[in-house]
Amino acid sequence: MSMRRLSQPKPTQVESGPSALPTAVCGTAVLAIAEDWVVEDRWWTGRPLRRRYFELVLADGGNVVVFHDLERERWYSQVG
């Protein structure tokens, strides 16, 4: 049996303001940040993981979770 990872992060377009907080996702304005948190893991390896996650409420009524990869300076979306 082969194993596959669930919920692979996908690169996404996020606009951010001066404080690095998301202001739009794929062109849709962010109405509110419901929650944000930081995950730091694998710091003892050559491939550390440092991400800042945001659960967002969008102007179109949608909710989305995005994260900023703090090591590579890229934005991703991830479905639970």
Cα 75 from chain centre: 6
Average pLDDT over residues 63-71: 94
Mean pLDDT of the chain: 90
What percentage of the chain reaches a pLDDT higher than 90?
69
Structural contact between residues 65 and 56, judged by C-beta atoms closer than 8 angstroms: yes
Position 65: which residue type? V
Average pLDDT over residues 52-58: 97
Which one has a higher pLDDT value, 56 or 6? Answer: 56
* The model's pTM: 0.84
5-29 residue pLDDT tens: 667 899 999 999 988 899 999 999 9
- Other beta carbons within 10 angstroms of residue 25's beta carbon come to 22
Which pLDDT does position 1 carry in this prediction?
A: 62
